[in-house]
């Protein structure tokens, strides 16, 4: 069997454009996921607030217990039945963001709970409200501890973003499939697509590792 990467070289502009769209989708989804994860993670800290805790727990249970592809299809094919028409890009970002938020919430909750409870008690004894103590004392420390697992979540999102190609979003996978439809060189194109995903995840991992090392060198991460 002879490999012919000519279609890959000829379609490198399309693959580069698809990689850029993949980065855009992933970045927007991560931002949404972090916002949702922060809110849900904090909501799940206190079981005594039964309504808020129950809704947050139900969200996490449903999202983590169902496939991402099904969730994307519910948004893309299900919402139009309620006369809610969203662009494919928006559906992709919402789907990935909501999915990521469920996992980020556990990262947030674990990071906050890892902070010594004595710090909250000390802040309250100084007259701070619970919200102010959380915002000024607890969250800044917790955010630093979230960086490594959030980095893993970002890498996972890059790989999961390949599913948005099924929503007709012109991401890396979608552009690769377009090249295959013309050239019929599926093995070569998928190898190229896999290589680009590998480069994206490797670069992300490298940058996150550098950031973590700088924080450790500065004594921020204990």
Instruction: Mention every residue, 6+ apart, whose C-beta is less than 8 A from residue 178.
Output: 11, 14
- The mean pLDDT of the chain is 89
**Band (138; pLDDT cuts 50, 70, 90):** confident
CA distances from 112 to 52, 116, 130, 210 (A): 18, 9, 13, 23
Q: Do residues 188 and 49 lie in contact, with contact meaning Cβ atoms separated by under 8 Å? A: no
Q: Please give the structure tokens belonging to residue 74.
A: 């519910």
The domains located in the chain, with CATH, are 9-217 (1.10.3720.10)
- Rounded CA-CA distance 92/51 in Å is 29
- Rounded CA-CA distance 212/163 in Å is 30
CA distances from 133 to 28, 67, 138, 160 (A): 29, 37, 7, 36
What is the per-residue pLDDT for 31? 93
Q: Tens of pLDDT along 75-107?
A: 999 999 999 999 999 999 999 999 999 999 999
Q: Tens of pLDDT along 204-214?
A: 888 888 877 77
Which of 52, 44, 60, 155 minimizes the C-alpha distance to 98? 60
CA distances from 28 to 11, 24, 33, 76, 90 (A): 26, 6, 9, 17, 10
What is the per-residue pLDDT for 58? 96
Q: Tens of pLDDT along 1-52?
A: 688 888 899 999 999 999 999 999 999 999 999 999 999 999 998 888 889 9
CA count, 13 A, side-chain hemisphere, 9: 4
Instruction: Mention every residue, 6+ apart, whose C-beta is less than 8 A from residue 26.
Output: 96, 154, 157, 158, 161
What is the per-residue pLDDT for 158? 93
């Amino acid at each position: 069997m002879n490999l012919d990467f000519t279609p890959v070289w000829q379609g490198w502009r399309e693959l580069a454009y698809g990689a850029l769209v993949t980065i855009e989708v992933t970045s927007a989804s991560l931002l949404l996921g972090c916002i949702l994860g922060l809110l849900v993670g904090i909501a799940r800290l206190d079981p005594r607030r039964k309504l808020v805790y129950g809704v947050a727990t139900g969200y996490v249970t449903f999202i983590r217990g169902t496939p991402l592809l099904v969730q994307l299809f519910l948004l893309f094919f299900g919402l139009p039945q309620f006369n809610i028409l969203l662009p494919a890009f928006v559906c992709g970002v919402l789907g990935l963001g909501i999915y990521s938020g469920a996992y980020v919430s556990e990262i947030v909750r674990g990071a906050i709970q890892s902070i010594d409870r004595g710090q909250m008690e000390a802040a309250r004894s100084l007259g701070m409200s619970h919200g102010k103590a959380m915002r000024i004392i607890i969250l800044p420390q917790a955010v630093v501890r979230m960086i490594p697992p959030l980095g893993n979540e970002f890498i996972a999102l890059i790989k999961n973003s390949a599913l948005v190609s099924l929503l007709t979003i012109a991401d890396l996978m979608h552009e690769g499939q377009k090249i295959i439809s013309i050239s019929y060189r599926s093995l070569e194109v998928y190898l190229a697509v896999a290589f680009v995903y590998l480069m994206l995840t490797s670069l992300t991992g490298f940058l996150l590792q550098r950031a973590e090392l700088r924080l450790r060198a500065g004594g921020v991460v204990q």
